[in-house]
Structure 1
Amino acid sequence: MYLYNISIIVENERHESLIQWVRENWLSTLPEGVKLLKMLDSPHEGQTYCVQLMFEYPSDIPNFQKEKLILLQEYIAENHLEKAFLFDSTMKYL
């Protein structure tokens, strides 16, 4: 089993509108079981959120990135350019 994590780092003045869009428009399009978390002690300026999903096979992740992650990336580029960014990581359960 694999945990796919998307970290979203956003400036303080933009975080409410970005997370509202994520909740209202993007999360509902994702697979069941998706988790949205807020990092409490982030080492970054602004606010940090994480979206976590589980995948049975690592080969499923590139499809998710092409079909779903791209929507978030496009929204950030169009509405929060240079005010928010994201990075992703994949972890394997042992």
Structure 2
Amino acid sequence: MLLYNVTLIIEEVSAAAWLQWMQEEHIPEVMSTGLFVSNRLLRVVDSPNEGVTYCAQYVLQSIEDYNAYQLKHADSFSAELNSRFKDKYVSFATLMEYIA
């Protein structure tokens, strides 16, 4: 099992709109790819950064599912985020393997 984590820091004035978009549109669209087992959305409480920091986490069964997501879907989802919130956020993604 793998955990695909996307950490995003968004300016405070845009945070509410971003959160609504994530919950109502983006996460359901990502999950509709059929490549993820589950997801969760978290807010970082003690972030040292300006703005609001969130982590969107998606669980995958295999590296093949991750590769399929990257190949078929990641660019379009990233483009949609950028078109809606250009210059209002920074983000990075991490792929992790469950150990225990």
TM-score, length basis structure 1: 0.85
Identity fraction in percent: 28
Match of 2:53 among 48, 52, 66: 48
Q: How many residues align?
A: 94
Aligned-partner Cα distance in 2 for 1:65–1:47: 26
Residues 1-94 of structure 1: matches in 2 within 5 Å?
A: 1-29=1-29, 30=31, 31-94=36-99
CA RMSD across the alignment: 1.7
Q: In structure 2, do the counterparts of structure 1 residues 59 and 90 end up closer, same or farther at CA, with 3 Å as the change threshold?
A: same
TM-score, length basis structure 2: 0.81
Aligned-partner Cα distance in 2 for 1:93–1:50: 17
- Alignment gaps of 5+ in structure 1: none
- Alignment gaps of 5+ in structure 2: none
Amino acid at match of 1:73: S
